[in-house]
Amino acid sequence: MILQEDIAKIFDATQIVDVISAFVPLKKRGTNYIGCCPFHNEKTPSFVVSPSKGIFKCFGCGEAGNAAHFLMKHEHYSYPEALHYLANKYGISIQERELTEKDKLEQGKKEELFNINEFARKYFSNILLNDEQGKAIGLSYFKERDLSDETIEKWNLGYSKEGWQDFYLHAKKNGYDDEILKLSGLTIEKENSKEMYDRFRGRVIFPIYNIGGRTLGFTARILSSSGKTKAKYVNSPESDIFSKGKVLFGLNFAKNAILKEDLCYLVEGNMDAITLSQNSVENVVATSGTALTLDQINLIKRYTKNVTILYDGDSAGIKAAFRAVDLFVEGGLNVNIVLFPDGEDPDSYCRKLPQEEFKSYIKDKAENFILFKTHLLLEDAKDDPFKRSNLIKEILNTISLIADQIERAAYIQQCSSILNMKEEILNNALTKVLRERLLSKKKLEKTQESSLDSEEKQEYIPEISPKKSQKQILKDNFPDEQQERSIISLLLNYGDKETTQKVIQDDNTEKEEVFLVCSFLIGDILSDDIVFDNPLYQKVFDIYKEYILEKQTLPNLSVFTANEDEEIQNLSASLLMSNYKISDLWGEKWKISVPLPQNSNTINQNVKESLLSLKLNKLERKIYEINEKIKQEDNYEDQLILLAQIKTFKAIKKIISSELKRIITK
């Protein structure tokens, strides 16, 4: 928890050019700096940093934000981590929220858990490498699997002896008490006799690390054939530091390679991950044999949006892959899949093939998941009409999980050709699936949170049409998008400038008066009760309004560019940079010019024009809505009232239109 006033201090001290040039080479151009964008591939620079505004924007991919946002995006920091980095860089001392006694106790306990796990990791590793039993059973197992000494050391693999108390006695001798040993799950207390015994016995040990490389717990595999009745794998139990569904085996080693390749290979078994990593496929993580969770998907998403699943080719592997695929799609990731020949898993196949051959196998055989699923199910269904209809349902279900409408449309197109079905039919069926999901979701929410305002829960059901552009979608959602955006842009860019506007006085005569742009815009919009369609714009408007009306001061731009709401950060950074244009004036030389209003005349005109266009749009919609109402109204008198309303609105519309025309043609 960092105090708000400290956050303000951090942003006051932060020099954004300084921060970014530690990662991206920047060149000065006019008042700004320019470089090649680190977030997309480009050869000509379109990444602009404004030191005066403390923000950056890429004109290629649209990424924009403040220094903390840059660090979050580039270094994959969390927001607090980015703030700490900046505080450190600029020598700002942060007063963390006072830790309560309870917090301190909990933190101490976590630290103790890390310590005992580190201690155990070293112990198991020592047994594997130096103990007779460890060498004969554990080490020879890893050697049979072709693991090198370096690999065994890198992953800190270990072995636990077959006795009941080997580890327990060693830990006691080193001063660890029963309490923490029980808490870590490394030893277990017998219920009746209170006797302690080791959880891991006669097993090879795989330490599980967090992203920072600290030991969270262990997975242990049984080797002896006498253990047929025992579980093949045993894990550390859930604790304050370890939760199986929240870690991915090998991520601490793989994260840089994942970033570099912009791709993550996902395998099931720990040995798969270790073997691949040893054979120079380093961007690989394992689910450790557990079912994939959303938390794990979010972990991967911090590094890349591209995942290739490497699963066994048997039916269990395919089933697991199907399940994983739906989760990934829902999480917004691009998923490919590679299946191995029957009887092979990634580990065995990787050891069978020469390194380069294996690498090209997983590259070439990677198939898009939806097409993979469609082909596979089609093979199974053949011409059986019942099976075919189930197959279509199944595929549409997966496609419906894709959040991006354009992407969905592309898949529908591909599936229509594979299945030899009309796109239109698939589209209609998909709309049905989407509607059903929405309805059942609403029903669920209703029962869960019946107290919540139902209007808040209203959700937009997208129409399925492959030809719609992103802009069109935005327009469908927020019909006055463009007009609203220009108002917010004026507020942020010129809110503190002066503007001369005509006002009508009490005696109906016109008079010119000088206002601040922000006061004029906000006053005018409030007096007409205008509400923004796009809730994000409304939020920015409300923040600005609060400063002007309640705090009676102009907001610092960092109120928006360093807002805790990331959407506001992005929007404001984007709008504040939008009046810069990059053009190549002299061949190779890239220059930034400022084409938007600079003098008071253009500001005056822009303010008027934006307000009038917004009002005109809102009026047109109002008139349309009333017209629709009239069609449904049976009562003649009510119809007349509505008609009268339309008449009034049309009269206002006429005045606004002619005023707007006058301004534009002036």
How many CB atoms neighbour CB 262 within 10 A? 11
Task: Give the total of residues touching Zn ion (CB under 5 A).
Answer: 6
Separation between Cα atoms, residue 406 and residue 422, nearest integer Å: 18
Q: Give the integer Cα–Cα distance in Å for 541 and 575.
A: 14
Closer CB to Zn ion, 39 or 649, in the complex = 39
Please tell me whether residue 450 adopts helix, strand or coil conformation. coil
How do beta strands 367-368 and 306-311 pair? unpaired
Write down the residue that tokens 């005066």 correspond to.
52
**Amino acid at residue number 342:** D
Which residue's CB is nearer to Zn ion, number 57 or number 618? 57
Angstrom distance (rounded) from CA 433 to CA 33: 49
* Site for Zn ion contains 74 (CB under 5 A): no
What is the x/- site pattern for Zn ion, positions 22-61, by CB under 5 A? ---------------x-xx-----------------x-xx
**Binding marks (x or -) toward Zn ion, 75..114, rule CB under 5 A?**
----------------------------------------
Q: Report yes or no: 20 and 56 within 8 Å, Cβ to Cβ.
A: yes
Nearer CB in complex with Zn ion: 61/129: 61
| Token pair belonging to 224 | 């002896």
Q: Does 281 sit near Zn ion (CB under 5 A)?
A: no
Residue 227 gets which letter from DSSP? G
Inter-residue long-range contacts of 78-81, CB under 8 Å, 24+ positions, other chains counted: 79/564, 80/2
Stretch 503-522: interaction string toward Zn ion, x if CB under 5 A: --------------------
Residue 73 or 214 with smaller CB distance to Zn ion: 73
Question: In this structure, what are the phi and psi dihedrals at residue 198, rounded to the nearest 5 degrees?
Answer: -75, 140
Half-sphere exposure of 367 (CA within 13 A, CB side): 14
Please answer whether residues 202 and 162 qualify as being in contact, where contact means their C-beta atoms are separated by less than 8 angstroms.
Answer: yes
β-sheet bridge partners, residue 309: 266, 337
Minimum CB distance to Zn ion smaller for 249 or for 580? 580
Which of residues 58 and 220 has its CB atom nearest to Zn ion in the complex?
A: 58
Q: Taking the complex as a whole, how short is the minimal distance between the CB of residue 70 and Zn ion, in angstroms? A: 12
Helical spans, DSSP H, in 385-534: 385-400, 405-419, 423-448, 454-457, 470-477, 481-494, 517-527
The 286-315 site mask, x for binding Zn ion (CB under 5 A), equals: ------------------------------
Q: What's the rounded Cα separation, in Å, for the pair 583 and 29?
A: 12
- Assigned token pair, 571: 């929007």
Choose between 56 and 411: whose C-beta lies nearer to Zn ion. Answer: 56
Regarding beta strands 196-198 and 64-66, do their DSSP bridges make them parallel or antiparallel, or are they unpaired?
unpaired
Looking at the Cβ atoms of 40 and 143, the one nearer to Zn ion is 40
Number of C-beta neighbours around residue 321 at 10 A: 25
Rounded distance between C-alpha atoms, residue 197 and residue 200, angstroms: 9
In this structure, the number of other CB atoms found within 10 A of the CB of residue 196 comes to 19
Closest CA to 325 of 307, 313, 340, 342: 307
Closest C-alpha to 305, from 40, 92, 124 = 40
The 3-state DSSP class for residue 216 equals: strand
Indicate the residue among 37 and 399 with the shorter CB distance to Zn ion.
37
**How far is the C-alpha of 518 from the C-alpha of 482, rounded, in Å?**
19
Nearer to Zn ion, 39 or 590 (CB): 39
> Tokens in use for 315?
């039916």
> Least CB distance from residue 42 to Zn ion, whole Å?
7
The minimum distance between CB 577 and Zn ion, in angstroms, equals 12
CA 632 from centre of chain: 44
CB 484 within 8 A of CB 477: no
Chain residues that interact with Zn ion, rule: CB under 5 A: 37, 39-40, 58, 60-61
